Structure 1
């Protein structure tokens, strides 16, 4: 009886792993699809798949030169231009308090007249 149970569990796990590996990349949930339509930012992925929207910094609206400010949890601010992230952080950003998941520059924005400058 015990051998049959172990065999059944082993086969079940093997089938589940085989199916999961054939499904391809993770799919976006309907809620994430809706957010992707409303905000023109690229979907963020990591080695585990799609990072769901949540309490994390989002890119700013495009600047006058087309660059996008990318806030980092550690408090650095970088600029994305033509799809390339500038490796040097923006100078002069304030020091950021970090407490667990609430860290970084969560609510940045450019002044409304910046596009014209």
Structure 2
């Protein structure tokens, strides 16, 4: 688990230095938690698409489908801002997203350098 734990060097960063990208959504289907069925939407960051995982069946899906899901558990990927640009996502995916203000980016970059 060590690679997924917060590193000491990141603990000094302020919260606005981070952006959280939704990377998976787990849904529970059925009545009560003692029974039912679980499925998940998972984001493939290398391919830039969402996949619906249902037992042995995988199918590509749209962001609209993911947004309409009744989530049970949400998983996020943390990234550090750098001049308002992501280190993980291509620029075309960021065009519609919100970025921290320039002042926050500048202070994050000072800490990182």
Which of the two has higher C-alpha Rg?
A: 1
TM over 0.5: no
Q: TM-score, normalised by structure 1?
A: 0.27
Q: With a CA cutoff of 8 Å and minimum separation of 6, indicate the structure with the bigger relative contact order.
A: 2
Give the structure with the larger strand fraction: 2
